[in-house]
Structure 1
Amino acid sequence: MIDNIIHAAIVMTTPLLLAAIGGLVNRVGGLVNIGLDAMMLAGALAGLIVASQSGSWLAALIAAGLIGALIGLMMSLTVTRLEANEIIVGLGFNVAIAGLVRFFLKSAYGSSGTLNLPDVARLPHFDIPVIADIPILGALVSGHDPLTWAAWLMVPATAWFLARTRTGLRLRAAGAGPQAARALGLNPLTLRDASTVFAGFMAGLAGAYLSIGVVGIFNEGITAGRGFIALAAFYFGRNRPWPTALCALLFGLFDAFQIRLQGRGVPAELVQTLPYVMVILVLTVMALAVRRKRAKGT
């Protein structure tokens, strides 16, 4: 049983981690991306359609990432060039994309919310010989798909990028002090746009993971607010990749628990709130810790 829970936790962590890493880079660049859920939703739909028509899961991931990146670019330009409020723009994109997806499903497929296509190319899973038979360790590292491995490899890669590369340092400068960055000859708006495109690409991959990696179909509620949980993850991690990854893993674990509890006869309406209740509790504890630290400082 413990192996099943661990394996399910890793699976449910993957989309959260992908979106959270993208949102973290975007936040470091100076933009709080409230539209991650919309990018995930569009990526999930695009990924399923391309996986069905092309028979290639790789093509599906690329398509999902690109549609997410496009939405990210449009959102970023609205904020950086038109100077719109980033929170309002993000919420607006969430509502608009959800409406467009619903309209597309009805007009193109005659569906009222769920899309089940034939011959969908699912993400492959790889078992590691010998290790797969070891309790706990096998569940942690074996039987997973390439996108899960890529998500976890992105954690040290992002930490290195932000701390060791010239572009990463410029991105941090643009987010921390746009005027000072501009005085140094940098273009903070372009850097912010690039970070939002990256966040959209990662969120698109996260959405595709849900549709072709987990369930094999598309539903209007497939993201289930996971874009907002990813937002909480990088806030809890304070824009640091490793704490963000651990927070995503924690939320993924609770997500796996609620799925397991549904199978034990506990009312689904109640247990489905577990991950979101934990988000509220974690953010509350973090806020109290920050307040206590400030109080000691004074």
Structure 2
Amino acid sequence: MFFDSDLLLAAVGALTPILLAALGGAICERAGVFNIALEGTMLMGCFTAVAVSWFTGSPWLGVLVAALAAAAYSLILAVGAVTFKGDAVVLGVAMNLLAVGLTGFLLRTVFGVRGTFDDPELRGLGTIDIPLVQDIPFLGSVLSGHTGLTYLSWLTVDVAAVLLARHPWGLRLRGVGESPDAAATLGVSPVRYKYAAVLVSGALCGLAGAQLALGSVTLFTEDMTAGRGWIAVVAVMLGRALPVGVLLAGLLFGIAEAAGFRLQGLGLPQQATDAAPYVVTLIALFLTTAERRRRTRARTPSRTQPHAGVSEA
């Protein structure tokens, strides 16, 4: 069978880095900062996690430092877009390009290799088998046996949903994103909340990179994010910056990536299977844009129709 528990297990594993990065992008979006630097920030998290894990022998210390390093890297966006009012899109593209060059340079400087660093002494994140759940037919094999970061990403969705909908901090963050001047008149600092949103987004991208480098695989290769950060940006757009919507959009891309690997195992060319997530992205964007335009046309009255008062007269 093509669709089985192994396919869903792989889809959940592919979902985790996309989901963590997309949640960070959603928080930035709610604060009024369009963050397309998710790709580069994830890549910085990948390298930091591998480097710290290799030098210390502790993968979880690598996860922690990756989150801190990615948050520090995201300060480029915070300072440039919030403090100096620069273009967030231009800054995001520059950060993505900088991360590719910087991690490639550090790979040669720190490890003395080119392309890929793979060492038997490099320790990755172990998987967690949930008691009782793992014994449930079909469902147990899908929900159990993931890394701790996978379960943390599910918890983050719940926390972010409650935080943005009910907590005063989340409500103020949304107010800063929708109307910063009105928020400032109420004593809320837009700069402080935007900085906090960008830093949280960076930390989540660092966790996404750590999952990709120490959870999905146990190595670092140049540009190993391979467009997952851009897919996370699309997930934010499709999910309308809502945590649950981002989860559903990320799950769609995770299934597409897992299905691509399955098709590759069935004999399809690697180039075709690698394109599967991006094809799904284009189709989803096309359908979403078409639906939004249809709703806009439905809400806008036609200019050829007479006004209600004229027709009554």
Same fold by TM-score, threshold 0.5 exceeded?
yes
Contact persistence 1:12–1:252 (CA under 8 A): yes
SS across alignment from 1:252: helix
Moved more, 82-91 or 115-124: 115-124
What is the CA distance between 1:54 and its match in structure 2?
Answer: 1.5
User: Where does the alignment leave 5 or more consecutive residues of structure 1 unmatched?
Assistant: none
- Counterpart of 1:256 (choices 258, 275, 296) is 258
What is the CA distance between 1:269 and its match in structure 2?
Answer: 0.9
- Counterpart of 1:219 (choices 199, 203, 221) is 221
Displaced runs of 4+ in structure 1, greater than 3 A?
none
**Is 2:47 the counterpart of 1:45?**
yes
- Counterpart of 1:122 (choices 110, 113, 124) is 124
Contact persistence 2:12–2:251 (CA under 8 A): yes
TM-score normalized with structure 1 length = 0.97
What is the CA distance between 1:293 and its match in structure 2?
Answer: 0.7
- Counterpart of 1:148 (choices 147, 150, 162) is 150
Using the aligned pairs only, state the percent identity.
37
**Is 2:290 the counterpart of 1:285?**
no
Structure 1 or 2, whichever has the larger Rg, is 2
What is the CA distance between 1:207 and its match in structure 2?
Answer: 0.6
- Look up the match of 1:180: 182
TM-score normalized with structure 2 length = 0.92
- Alpha-carbon RMSD across the aligned residues, in angstroms, is 1.2
Q: 2: distance between equivalents of 1:275 and 1:135?
A: 29
Q: How does 1:190-229 map to 2 (within 5 A)?
A: 190-229=192-231
Contact persistence 2:66–2:207 (CA under 8 A): yes
Contact persistence 2:124–2:217 (CA under 8 A): no
Contact persistence 2:100–2:223 (CA under 8 A): no
**Is 2:254 the counterpart of 1:244?**
no
Q: 2: distance between equivalents of 1:297 and 1:53?
A: 59
Q: 2: distance between equivalents of 1:132 and 1:184?
A: 50
Contact persistence 1:44–1:208 (CA under 8 A): yes
What is the CA distance between 1:127 and its match in structure 2?
Answer: 1.8
- Look up the match of 1:27: 29
- Counterpart of 2:73 (choices 71, 74, 82) is 71
Give CA-to-partner distance per residue, 1:243-288, whole Å, 9 cap, x none: 1101101100001011111112210011101101111110110000
- Look up the match of 1:96: 98
Q: 1: distance between equivalents of 2:244 and 2:133?
A: 25
Read off the aligned partner of 1:98 and give its amino acid letter: V
- Counterpart of 1:132 (choices 101, 109, 134) is 134
- Look up the match of 1:3: 5
